Amino acid sequence: MLASYSKPGYPYDNAVTEVFFKYLKQREINRRTYHSIQEVQLSCFEYIEQFYNNYNPHSANNGLTPNQKEENYFKKI
């Protein structure tokens, strides 16, 4: 596996990741005050598992949420 990075100031190289972090910050991180790194980690985990994977349809997944896409994948194998 080879790590790659976008050019500074050019988010289009990795648009999917950029959008994910944009919404993580807007919907979760910037709305709360945290008192420990553990609180931040738990908040991020809960956002991903309870909201993002269940309620965020993606054009890359043909309009399915990540959990729906995963369910369809495992039904096929």
pLDDT tens track for 26-63: 999 999 999 999 999 999 999 999 888 998 898 889 99
Domain range for 58? 13-76
Nearest CA among 70, 15, 74 for reference residue 48: 70
Structural domains counted in the chain: 1
Predicted TM-score (pTM) of the model is: 0.67
Kindly state whether residue 28 falls inside one of the protein's structural domains. Answer: yes
- Look at residue 41 and tell me if it is in a domain: yes
Can you read off the two tokens belonging to residue 60?
């890359």
Query: pLDDT at residue 64 above 90?
Result: yes
Cα-based distances in Å from 38 to 30, 34, 41: 16, 9, 5
Residue 29 domain flag: yes
